[in-house]
Chain A
Amino acid sequence: MSQSQTAPQETTQPEMQAGAEVLLRALKDQGVEVIFGYPGGAVLPIYDAIFQQNAIRHILVRHEQAAVHAAEGYARSTGRVGCVLVTSGPGATNAVTGLVDALMDSIPIVCLTGQVPTHLIGNDAFQEADTTGITRPATKHNYLVKRSEDLARVVHEAFYVAKSGRPGPVVIDLPKDILINKAPYTPAPPATALHRSYRPNLIPDGGQIAKAVAALKSAKRPMIYTGGGVINSGQGASDALIKLVRKTGFPITNTLMGLGAYPSNDPQFLGMLGMHGTYEANLAMHGCDVMLNIGARFDDRVTGRLNAFSPDSRKIHIDIDRSSINKNVPVEIPIVADAGLAIEALLAAWDAEPVQVDTAALAKWWQQIDTWRGLDCLKYTQDHAKGAIIKPQYAIQRLYDLTRETGRETFISTEVGQHQMWAAQYFRFDQPKHWMTSGGLGTMGYGLPAAMGVQVAHPDALCIDIAGEASILMNIQEMSTLAQYRLPVKVFILNNQYMGMVRQWQELLHGSRYSESYTAALPDFVKLADSFHGVGLRATSVDQLDDVIREMIASDRPVIADICVDQKENCFPMIPSGAAHNEMILGAEHGNRAPGVTDDGMALV
C-alpha cells in the first residue's frame, strides 16, 4: 500500500523508562486490572512502581502458591489472563505448585518472578534459583529477560502465549537490573500480527467435520462427552453446545473440568462421568457406538482401564491441542480446532447433511439410559431426626438449594478429596465459568485462594469454597487476605476429621488400615475464623444445617462454616483404578456391589 510506504519514517527514539515502569505499562496495555503477589528484594522496583500508580490493583496474598491459585480463580471465572508477581528464589519456588496446577487445567496465567541481577545469575547469589529451569516443565512457556530492549516485547508475547490455543501459565523471570535500568517501551503487536512460530490452529477442517457429522448421523447409540476445552473456548461454545445437544437429541456427559458447559438439570444431561461419575454416564460411555469428545483429553480418571474403555465406539475428538489427540485413546476422526468454532461447524454441517438420525434406535438407546438412570446411583439416606448426623451429600444438596433460593450469582470452588467429588455430584451447575476445581493436579489448598480470586473479580457474587478439613489447612493463611480486602468468601468445610478420600482408598484397597489419614488435634475452626476477623459457624447435627447455611450466605464477611459430617461416608459410585466403566462400585444403598480390584489396578493412583 503506497500510502504507508510514503508515510514519514518514525525517526524519534522510543521513550525510555525504568524497566519496572515499562513492565507496568505493558501489563496495563494487556488489560491487567489486578495482580496477586507478594514482595521481596528482587521485585522491589516493581513494588515501587505499583505504589506510584492506581490503574492496577495489587492483592497481597499470604503465600505465593495462593497467589497463583487466586489468579487461576480470577482467570477461570472471567475468561481473562490471571497475573501473578512473586520475588526470586523462594517466591518463585513457592509458586511452582500453582503453575503446574494451571498447566494441567489449561488456565491462562502470566507469572512475573524476580531474579537476581543478570551479572550474578549462576553465582548462587542470595535468593537465586534457576527459575526458568525449575519452571520449564511447569509452564506452557517461560522467559528470562536479559536485555532491556526485550522487556516490553516479552511481556506482550507472554500474554499472547498464555491465552492462545490451549491456554496455560507463562513465567517471565525478571533480573533486578532489568527492572531498574532504562528500557524502551514497545506497544503490543496488533491482534492480527502472526507470532513467528506459535500459531495454533483454531478453524476446523471441513472434510473432518463432514466425516464427523456422517458418523454421528449413523449412530444408534451416540454419546457426547465434553470437557474444559468448551469452558475455555467461552460462553459462545457453551451456547453452541446446548444447540447441538438439543438438535441431535443425543445424551451428554461432562468431565469434572467441563461441568457447567451444559445445564445439569437438563434431561439430556447424564451427569459427570469418570471415577466418581454417574452410573448412567459411565455405562453410556461404555456402551455407545459413536462418541463425540469435545475439549476433553481422555484422562485416566475418565477412561478407567484403557483397553476396556468404550470398546465398540467410533470416536470423534475435537481438541485445540493436537497432542491431546491419539495420546491415550486412538480416535478415528480427529479435529484440531477451537471447541466453539468446531461445534458451530458441526451445527452447520448437521443441517446441510440430508441423512437423518435413526430415531427408533435413538429412542431405544434413551430407554436403556433411563433404565440405568432408574438405579439412582447418587441415592443416599439422610436421617432427619433431631440430633442426627449430617450426611456430606445432604450438606451439599442443602447448600445448593439454599444458595439457589437467594437467586444470587454463585461461584463454587473446591479443595481436593471426597468433598470435591460430592460437590461435583450434588451441586448443579447451569453456566460455564462458575465452577473452579483442581482437576488435573488435584491440589489440596486450591479452593480457598481460588475463591478469593473469583471474589476479587466478582465482588457482589456469592463465592463458596467447598472444603475438607485437611485441605483447608494447606492455604488457611489466606483468611488473612480475605480480611484485609474485605472479601466475603465462604468456606464450607465438610469436616469428617479424616482425609476422607485417603481413608476411602485405605478401606477399599488396603484392609481398612487407616495409616496417617486421621488428623488428630484439628483446630477449632470457629475460633480460627474469629482470629482471622471472620465469622465462624458450626453445625453438628442435621437440624442445625439449614440455619448455618443461611447465616453463612447472609453474612457480608468471610465465613468458615464447620459442617461436622458422617466420618465413615464413602464417595460412590466409584470406578477403582484399573477397572473398566462397567465395573463400577455402587454405594451402600445398592449393597456396595464391587468388582474387586486387580493387582495392576493397585499400582495405579
Chain B
Amino acid sequence: MAIDPTLRSATISVLVENEPGILARVVGLFSGRGYNIDSLTVAPVEDGRNRSRINIVTSGTDMIIQQIKAQLDRLVPVHRVSDLSMEGPHIAREMALIKVIGTGDKRVEALRLAEAFRARVVDATTESFIFEMTGATDKLDAFLDLMRPLGLAEVSRTGVAAIARGTRII
C-alpha cells in the first residue's frame, strides 16, 4: 500500500482521567515522537467524573495522524480519542485578548474593524484598546493581520476548543 504524503490538519479531542501528570504525558508523547502541536487546550469537564478534555490541533500525513490517535489511545489514563476533523462536521473556536496601542486615525480604524469582526472592547484607555474576540482560528488570524499596522501590541490566545456538530458526542 502506498503512503499518502499529503499533510492535513487534525483537531483531536482526548477525554482523560483528570490526574497529575496527564498533560505532561500527552505533551511528552508529542515532543518525544516528533509530532506537531499547533494548539492545545485543557480543562476539567464532566463534574463528578474527574475527567478533563484536551483539544489538540496538529498536522501530518494521514498515517501520522492515525498514529497520533493510536499513541494517545494507549496511554493508561485516556478514556477516548476522537479526530473531530475526520469524524464529521465540528465546531472549533478560540478566544483571544488583543491589545492595540495607538492614537488618531489608527485608533479609529482599529475600533471600526473590531466592530466589523464582532470583537468586543473589554478595556480602553485614551491610547489603547483590549479586544476580546471569539471565533475560528483563521478568523482570529485575519483580524490580527489587520490590527498589526494599527498598533497591535500584545495577544493572548486560548487555543482551540472543539466539539462535534449535532447529537454526536465523543
> A residues within 8 Å of B by Cβ?
132-133, 136-137, 140-142, 144, 146, 161, 165-166, 196-198, 200, 315, 321-323, 325-327, 330-332
Is B28 a contact of A137 with CB atoms below 8 Å? yes
Bound CA span A315–B28, Å: 31
Interface of B is mostly: mixed
Kindly provide the distance from the CB of B96 to the nearest chain A CB, expressed in whole angstroms: 32
Q: A322-B73, A322-B74, A323-B70 are in contact. Are A136 and B1 (CB under 8 A)?
A: no
Q: Flag whether B77 is at the interface (Cβ < 8 A).
A: yes
Interface of A is mostly: loop
Q: A197-B77, A198-B76, A326-B66 are in contact. Are A133 and B2 (CB under 8 A)?
A: no
30 pairs across A/B with beta carbons < 8 Å? A133-B24, A136-B21, A136-B24, A137-B28, A137-B32, A140-B76, A142-B21, A144-B21, A165-B74, A196-B17, A196-B79, A197-B16, A197-B76, A197-B77, A197-B79, A198-B76, A198-B77, A200-B74, A315-B1, A321-B70, A321-B74, A322-B73, A323-B67, A323-B70, A323-B71, A326-B63, A326-B67, A327-B67, A330-B2, A331-B1
Bound CA span A326–B73, Å: 15
Q: Flag whether B3 is at the interface (Cβ < 8 A).
A: yes
In this complex, what residue of A is CB-closest to B1? Answer: A330
Q: Flag whether B34 is at the interface (Cβ < 8 A).
A: no
Bound CA span A332–B2, Å: 10
Q: Flag whether B121 is at the interface (Cβ < 8 A).
A: no
Is B70 a contact of A325 with CB atoms below 8 Å? yes
Kindly provide the distance from the CB of A26 to the nearest chain B CB, expressed in whole angstroms: 18
Bound CA span A140–B77, Å: 11
- Residues of chain B within 8 A of A322, CB atoms compared: 70, 73-74
- Residues of chain B within 8 A of A315, CB atoms compared: 1
**Interface size counted on chain B using CB atoms at 8 A:** 23
Q: A136-B21, A330-B3, A331-B1 are in contact. Are A161 and B76 (CB under 8 A)?
A: yes
Top 8 closest A-B pairs, CB basis? A323-B70, A330-B1, A141-B76, A322-B70, A198-B76, A197-B79, A323-B71, A137-B32
Q: Flag whether B20 is at the interface (Cβ < 8 A).
A: yes
- Residues of chain B within 8 A of A196, CB atoms compared: 17, 79
- Residues of chain B within 8 A of A166, CB atoms compared: 74
Q: Flag whether B78 is at the interface (Cβ < 8 A).
A: yes
Kindly provide the distance from the CB of A144 to the nearest chain B CB, expressed in whole angstroms: 7
Bound CA span A415–B1, Å: 37
In this complex, what residue of A is CB-closest to B3? Answer: A330
Interface 1/0s, chain B 59-99, versus A by CB < 8 A? 00001001100110111111100000000000000000000
Is A136 a contact of B28 with CB atoms below 8 Å? yes
Is A332 a contact of B1 with CB atoms below 8 Å? yes
- Residues of chain B within 8 A of A133, CB atoms compared: 24
In this complex, what residue of A is CB-closest to B16? Answer: A197
Q: Flag whether B25 is at the interface (Cβ < 8 A).
A: yes
With beta carbons under 8 angstroms apart, the residue of B2, B20, B67, B75 that contacts A144 is B20
Kindly provide the distance from the CB of A346 to the nearest chain B CB, expressed in whole angstroms: 21
In this complex, what residue of A is CB-closest to B63? Answer: A326
Contacts A144-B20, A166-B74 supplied; 15 other A-B pairs, CB < 8 Å: A132-B21, A133-B24, A136-B25, A137-B28, A137-B32, A142-B21, A146-B20, A161-B76, A197-B16, A321-B70, A322-B73, A323-B74, A327-B67, A330-B2, A331-B1
In this complex, what residue of A is CB-closest to B70? Answer: A323
- Residues of chain B within 8 A of A141, CB atoms compared: 75-77
- Residues of chain B within 8 A of A161, CB atoms compared: 76
- Residues of chain A within 8 A of B75, CB atoms compared: 141
> Restricting to B1-51, which residues have a CB under 8 Å from any CB of A?
1-3, 16-17, 20-21, 24-25, 28, 32
- Residues of chain A within 8 A of B25, CB atoms compared: 136
In this complex, what residue of B is CB-closest to A323? Answer: B70
- Residues of chain A within 8 A of B16, CB atoms compared: 197
Kindly provide the distance from the CB of B50 to the nearest chain A CB, expressed in whole angstroms: 9
Bound CA span A161–B20, Å: 18
Kindly provide the distance from the CB of A140 to the nearest chain B CB, expressed in whole angstroms: 7
Kindly provide the distance from the CB of A292 to the nearest chain B CB, expressed in whole angstroms: 16
Bound CA span A327–B28, Å: 18
Bound CA span A323–B35, Å: 14
- Residues of chain A within 8 A of B67, CB atoms compared: 323, 326-327
Kindly provide the distance from the CB of A337 to the nearest chain B CB, expressed in whole angstroms: 14
Bound CA span A327–B74, Å: 14
User: Which of A133, A323, A330 gathers most chain B CB within 10 Å?
Assistant: A323
- Residues of chain A within 8 A of B78, CB atoms compared: 197
Bound CA span A549–B63, Å: 51
